[in-house]
Amino acid sequence: MNKLKVGLIVVMLAIIAIVGGYATYTYNPGSSNGTVKITDMADRTVYVPAEITKVLSTSPPSTNTIYMIAPDKLGGWNSNLTNEQKKYIPSKYQELPVIGGWYSTFQGNPENFISQNPSIILYDKANLGNSSVDIDNLQQMMGSIPVVEIENSLNATNYTGAIQFTGKLLGETEKANELVDFYENVLTQVNTTVSTIPEDQKVRVYYAEGAAGLQTDPSGSPHSQLIDICGGVNVAQVPLKGGNGMSEVNMEQVLQWNPDVIITNNPQFYSKVYTNSSWQDVKAVKDKKVYLAPTTPLGWFDRPPGANVIIGIPWTAKVLYPDKFKNLNMTQLTKEFYSAFYHVNLTDEDVKYIMGNQTLD
């Protein structure tokens, strides 16, 4: 074998070892179907079936990632789908069983998982919650079903590794690369423009949560991170709250912060903010710059965290700096995102409905 061939083999082995976060990927003929030795995203060695046919996850961010990459291998949802969500999820996936999970304040039931006989179970370390289960405890609960750790939900500037890891694990590398291409393209476009905005010209933003709009998350929170990523200044001067976030504030604080733009994901707050006398002196309200982030089938801006907020990156950039992002066509991007990530094809009317008839293009 000549040196060129040897060199090519070494390169290919190196690629196999690192793509998607795998340190090793070795066939093990110890069982009838064979297993694959992998290193998960917590550097744990795990033996998984060579052919993975059904996957469950302990929390919504990684469940949603499975659905995006390999919907036919998803074995269940963590909670019931709403009627709104079902509008933009193909019917064949709507009736998957609801298995619960370990996230937020929810404590799952291992029997719900075991009874579905999955090939593997994904555990999302960054589940933002108060659930106390760790991966070692979870593996004990699940017996012989391999539990694989993935880290994908907290950092919207770093989804590539988790998407590629999941794609490799599930035998869907090409699909994972398609999603990564979309993600990295919009993130690069936004970063390139945002990096040129002087600090004194950045838009000041308040993230209004809850029906009264008097809960929020400051800079540094995964719930409000798109403000930072898209070049805004988060005005909330409150302690960073872990878990589900949503720090309580009062109207006097909001008036003092006096944001240029308000983003909310609460329809009740949005429907009343322009007629609520308490908010009339806030600059964003006076300037008609309150925006309702789309939430169908999953949040664009927040909740749950995860790859679903990728489409929220160009949306938030466009909300904050419409003149600087005229090149971002939200109708076209939304159609591309929903086709690639949610497996549905949208009409222009669908896009208008999802965006609440808020015109950004």
- 30-48: pLDDT as tens digits: 454 689 999 999 999 999 9
Predicted local confidence at residue 273, as pLDDT: 98
pLDDT category, 140, cuts 50, 70, 90? very high
pLDDT category, 17, cuts 50, 70, 90? very low
* 136 or 104, higher pLDDT: 136
C-beta of residue 78 within 8 angstroms of C-beta of residue 57: yes
Task: For residues 128-138, give the mean pLDDT.
Answer: 74
- Is the confidence at residue 10, as pLDDT, over 50? no
**What is the token pair recorded at 352?**
């208008």
List the one residue out of 103, 52, 95 whose CA is nearest residue 76: 95
pTM for the full predicted model: 0.90
C-beta of residue 55 within 8 angstroms of C-beta of residue 71: no
C-beta of residue 284 within 8 angstroms of C-beta of residue 290: yes
* 14 or 119, higher pLDDT: 119
- Is the confidence at residue 88, as pLDDT, over 80? yes
C-beta of residue 217 within 8 angstroms of C-beta of residue 247: yes
Mean pLDDT of the residues in the chain: 90
How many other C-beta atoms lie within 10 A of the C-beta of residue 89? 20
Give me the domains of the chain, ranges plus CATH numbers: 17-179 (3.40.50.1980), 189-354 (3.40.50.1980)
Predicted local confidence at residue 172, as pLDDT: 97
- Is the confidence at residue 334, as pLDDT, over 90? yes
